Structure formats: C-alpha cells, structure tokens
C-alpha cells in the first residue's frame, strides 16, 4: 500500500514539473513573439550576465555601428550587429539628412513605455530620437551649434548639449516628431547630458562646470532650473556617463584627465581602479561594462580626423578592437539603463 502511494506521489511530482517547464517555455516563446530579437538579446544577456555590445559613431562611413566586441575581429561580418544612418525610408526628410555627416554622440535608452530608443547627435546639427531596433524616426531636429550629446527624459522630451552653441536645451519631442519648441540653459562648451532617475535631475557638462538641472514646467512647456554647480579640476569637459558599478559616481573626461565624480560628496577622484592607464588626455568617451571592463575611445593618428580613431580600447583587462578604415569619435556601451 505505502509503496503504491509513494509511486503515485512521485508520478504526480514529475507531471507537475513537466507542466511548469511547458508553461515557462510558452511564456518565453510568447515574449519572443511579442518583442522579437530585442527581447531575445536582453533575455540572453540577462541569463549569461554578459557584457553589452558597443556602438561607435563612425565618421568614415557616416553611420552608427553596433558591434559585438566579444568578437576579436570587428572586420568580420559576424561582429557587426546593427547599423544606422538617417534616410527617407526611416522617416528623415532632405533637410534633416543634410544635417548629418559627422556623428558625434549615441546612446540607447529604455523608456517608461517599455520601448527602446536611440539618441543620436551629429556635429552638422542633427539631434534625433529613433526607435530601436527598427531605426524609425520618432523625433528629429537640426539644432545647430555642434551638438555632442542627447538624452531621453522621462516625459518623452529630449535634452541636447551643443558645444559651439554653448547651450543645454530640452526639446518638446513628446509633442510630435517635428516639434521644435525648447527651453535653454547657457553652459559654455556644453558637451554632455545625462538623466539621473534617482535624484531626478539632468546632469550637464561644459568646459568649466558640471551642473545638475531640475526639469520643471510641463512636457509642452518645460523649464530648466540650476540645482548645483561643481568646478572641473581641469579644463574642457568632454564626456559624461554613469559609473554603472556605483550609482553615486559619474565618469567625466576633460581635455587632459578622466575623473570619477561623487554626487553625494561633490568631490573628484582619480583614485579608482585602473586610473594610471585610464586617466589621460583626449578621451572622447568612457563607460564600464557589467564585468567591470572599461571601454574608451581615444584619437589615433592616421584616421579621418584628428579627433577620431579606428580602435576601441579596453581596460580591466586591457584589450583593443580595430576596424580597418574606421574613424570613431565615440564608443558607447549599448546599455539602455540610465545608471
């Protein structure tokens, strides 16, 4: 009697486990069906805890190129995962396309609606927000002034920093693909903008200062209010990005150094792991992967311009990836998270 009960119990347990596995498979397949390869990539990365792909602003091909840098040869077809440039087919008219040619900034963001969007800037004047991975225009405008960085705000508006225009602007992108209204904050040599979801401020980087700005008003009529201002240790703020391994820290590059800035203590440091190699002049972009590896773009002689490189540099551990004929201005980790 007891043996039969035990056998039946085991049979029920096995049957229950099989049902759970089937249910899990059905749910996973449904998510793949709904969200396609975008979900597939995210699911695989989360499962493997792998590092993200790396996007570059390639001024040789005048495109955004996204690479799997686990591939040792960027010239192999399997290394290139995605590419983009504004075209009529993806929603850009002739005027906007003419404001593209020297891409200067790129980042991926996950919006509150659950979608993913790429923010791009070009020194010719274009700032745009496009859906990812289909590449269709959501919003775009020729802002002028040599834009270097853009950011997606929680309300759907887009912040932009222009170095020659000396401004940080918030455009009313939430109001439609051609909306051109904006509010402006003066910042000499504006190069970077980064939304901070915890503090609910917009960080902005210029030649002399790192500032935090409160976005007030409404999505239709935004306003900018300065909350804090910190003097840079050295001149020429260039790149601004989150230190993903520490929510309190920001990466800040200047003409001569690479710092980590502490938000809570308002202090600057070069006393971080790998600083002896990482902190140097002319670093155009920087970021850190989930593994802790740091990704940089530094100009290299022999490429298209004095400010470009054909190489993505890695530290902790040290490595590099080279694209023959490439001329990158920035290399950005394809991480959709703000921090």
Q: Is 251 found in the same domain as 102?
A: yes
Question: Is 292 inside any structural domain?
Answer: yes
Quick one: pLDDT at residue 330?
98
Segment among 40-44, 121-125, 272-276, 322-326 with least mean pLDDT: 40-44
> Is 68 part of any domain?
yes
Instruction: Give the other-Cβ count within 10 Å of 153's Cβ.
Output: 21
Residues 280, 20: Cα–Cα separation, whole Å: 54
- Decide the pairing of beta strands 294-297 and 182-186: unpaired
| From 18-27, 59-68, 175-184, the region with the lowest mean pLDDT | 18-27
Residues 111, 156 share a domain: yes
Q: Is residue 300 part of a domain?
A: yes
Mean pLDDT for 305-325 is: 98
Give the pLDDT band (50/70/90) at residue 307.
Answer: very high
Please indicate, yes or no, whether residues 27 and 124 belong to a single structural domain of this protein: no
Q: pLDDT tens for residues 274-306?
A: 999 999 999 999 999 999 999 999 999 999 999
On whether residue 339 sits in a domain, the answer given is no
Let me know the angle formed at the C-alpha of 181 by 175 and 183, rounded to the nearest 5 degrees: 115
Residue 139 and residue 221 in one domain: yes
Same domain, 83 and 188: yes
The residues, any chain, with a CB within 8 Å of residue 14's CB and separated by 6 or more, are: none
Question: Is the preceding omega at residue 317 within 30 degrees of 0, hence cis?
Answer: yes
**143 in the same domain as 8:** no
| Distance, CA of 253 to CA of 280 (rounded, Å) | 9
**Position with higher pLDDT, 267 vs 113:** 267
Q: Which domain holds residue 44?
A: 1-49
In CATH, what number is assigned to the domain containing residue 184? Answer: 2.130.10.10
Same domain, 147 and 26: no
Same domain, 31 and 55: no
Structure confidence at residue 323 (pLDDT): 98
Cα separation of 62 and 311, whole Å?
A: 16
Q: Could you tell me the pTM of the whole model?
A: 0.85
Whether 99 is covered by a domain: the verdict is yes
Q: Per DSSP, which regions of 85-124 are E strands? A: 103-110, 116-122
- CB within 8 A of 112, min separation 6: which ones? 154
d(CA 3, CA 7): 6
How many alpha carbons lie under 13 Å from residue 118 in its C-beta half-sphere?
A: 26
Asked if pLDDT for residue 29 goes beyond 60, the answer is no
Assign 185 to helix, strand or coil: strand
pLDDT tens string 187-234: 999 999 999 999 999 999 999 999 999 999 999 999 999 999 999 999
Please report whether residue 72 resides in a domain: yes
Q: Are residues 265 and 192 both part of a single domain?
A: yes
Q: Which of 14, 31, 49 is where one domain is finished?
A: 49
> Alpha-carbon distance 54 to 37, whole Å?
17
**Contacting residues for 151 by C-beta, under 8 A, at least 6 apart:** 107, 109, 119, 158, 159, 160, 193, 194, 195, 202
C-alpha span between 189 and 304 (Å, rounded): 23
Tokens representing 123 are 């020194």
> 89 lies in a domain?
yes
Residue 338 lies in a domain: no
Task: Count other C-beta atoms under 10 Å from residue 18's C-beta.
Answer: 10
Q: Tell me what the pLDDT averaged over the chain comes to.
A: 90
Say if residue 19 is in the same domain as residue 61.
no
| Number of domains comprising the chain | 2
Contact 21, 302 (CB under 8 A): no
**Residues 20, 91 share a domain:** no
Average pLDDT over residues 73-90: 98
Same-domain status, 19 and 127: no
pLDDT of residue 16: 40
């Amino acid at each position: 009697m007891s043996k039969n009960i035990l056998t039946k119990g085991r049979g029920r347990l096995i049957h229950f486990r099989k049902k759970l596995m089937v249910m899990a498979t059905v749910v996973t397949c449904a998510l793949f069906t709904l969200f396609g390869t975008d979900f597939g990539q995210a699911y695989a990365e989360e499962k493997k805890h792998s590092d993200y792909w790396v996007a570059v602003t390639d001024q040789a091909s005048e495109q955004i190129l996204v690479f799997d840098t686990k591939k040792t040869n960027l010239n192999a077809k399997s290394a290139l995962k995605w590419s983009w440039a504004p075209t009529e087919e993806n929603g850009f008219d002739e005027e906007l396309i003419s404001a593209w040619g020297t891409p200067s900034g790129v980042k991926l963001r996950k919006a509150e609606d659950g979608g993913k969007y790429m923010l791009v800037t070009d020194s010719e004047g274009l700032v745009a927000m496009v859906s990812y991975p289909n590449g269709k225009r959501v919003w775009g405008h020729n802002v002028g002034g040599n834009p270097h960085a853009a950011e997606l705000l929680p309300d759907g508006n887009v912040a932009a920093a222009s170095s020659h225009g000396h401004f940080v602007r918030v455009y009313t992108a939430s109001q439609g693909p051609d909306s051109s209204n904006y509010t402006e904050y003066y910042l000499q040599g504006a190069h970077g903008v980064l939304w901070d979801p915890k503090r609910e401020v917009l960080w902005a980087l210029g030649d002399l200062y790192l500032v935090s700005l409160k976005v007030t008003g409404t999505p239709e009529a935004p306003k900018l209010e300065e909350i804090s201002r910190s003097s840079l240790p050295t001149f020429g703020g260039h790149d601004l990005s989150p230190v993903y391994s520490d929510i309190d820290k920001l990466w800040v590059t200047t003409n001569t150094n690479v710092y980590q800035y502490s938000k809570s203590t308002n202090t600057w440091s070069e006393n971080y792991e790998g600083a002896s190699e990482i902190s140097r002049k002319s670093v155009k972009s920087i970021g850190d992967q989930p593994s802790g590896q740091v990704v940089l773009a530094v100009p290299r002689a022999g490429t298209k311009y004095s400010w470009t490189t054909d190489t993505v540099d890695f530290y902790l551990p040290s490595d590099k990836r080279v694209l023959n004929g490439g001329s990158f201005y920035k290399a950005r980790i394809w991480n959709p998270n703000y921090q």
